[in-house]
Amino acid sequence: MLLSREVVARVESLRERDPARGSIVVSRGTHSFRVDVEDVDRLAVVLSKISFTCGRRLAAPELPLVSTVIGSRLGYLLEPIELVEYDEARGSISMRSRPPHVEGGFRRWYDVRIDSSGEIEFSRRCWTDATRVRSPEPFTLTREVFLRLLGDLESLITSGDTGRQLESPPC
């Protein structure tokens, strides 16, 4: 069973709890998912963060390639995600929804961080004009989109599909 499918099965088990929330960690070998669940029902899951770790360092030149593939694959989230910062010295990249979703005095965006340790973090942030504060915000995904997102993150890292042939898969 793929890690992504095992995560979904464990998230499903949270429906029996009240409230249906918790952190799910699924590992196999050097790969692991951590999913922080705020709520789950028969149609959707509300998350605060998804982390995937592959257990192998990524070379600095691989990071922009990974960001390009992530940006092209995640179009189904309805907010284009683009590279906003590449820090070669630290070995990290930041990606965000471009443009952010603007409603009233709020700006919301998906936030993707990838570092050379082989970790990808996926979350959502909100900027409030009135308080001028940026904070994490739970986000809702249908079950179908949730499984697709997990599968895309997992296959990107485990298959080495970074948009061009690499010497070896990133993880």
pLDDT value at 99 more than 60: yes
- Give percent above pLDDT 70 in the chain: 91
- Give percent above pLDDT 90 in the chain: 60
pTM, 2 dp: 0.86
Q: Report pLDDT for 129.
A: 92
Is the CB of residue 101 less than 8 Å from the CB of residue 79?
Answer: yes
pLDDT single digits (tens) 112-147: 999 998 899 999 999 999 999 999 999 999 999 999
Greater confidence (166 vs 130) lies with 130
Residue 158: pLDDT band (50, 70, 90) is: low
pLDDT value at 168 more than 70: no
Residue 167: pLDDT band (50, 70, 90) is: very low
Q: Report pLDDT for 62.
A: 84
Question: What is the distance between the alpha carbons of residues 95 and 93, in angstroms, rounded to a whole number?
Answer: 7
* Structure tokens, 136: 């994490």
Is the CB of residue 110 less than 8 Å from the CB of residue 81?
Answer: yes
Question: What is the distance between the alpha carbons of residues 128 and 63, in angstroms, rounded to a whole number?
Answer: 30
Reduced 3-state DSSP string for 1-34: CCHHHHHHHHHHHHHHCCCCCEEEEEEECCEEEE
Greater confidence (99 vs 168) lies with 99
Q: Is the dihedral of CA 39, 44, 50, 56 positive or negative?
A: positive
* Structure tokens, 112: 């993707």
Question: What is the distance between the alpha carbons of residues 118 and 105, in angstroms, rounded to a whole number?
Answer: 35
pLDDT single digits (tens) 10-48: 999 998 888 889 999 999 888 899 999 999 999 999 999
pLDDT value at 169 more than 80: no
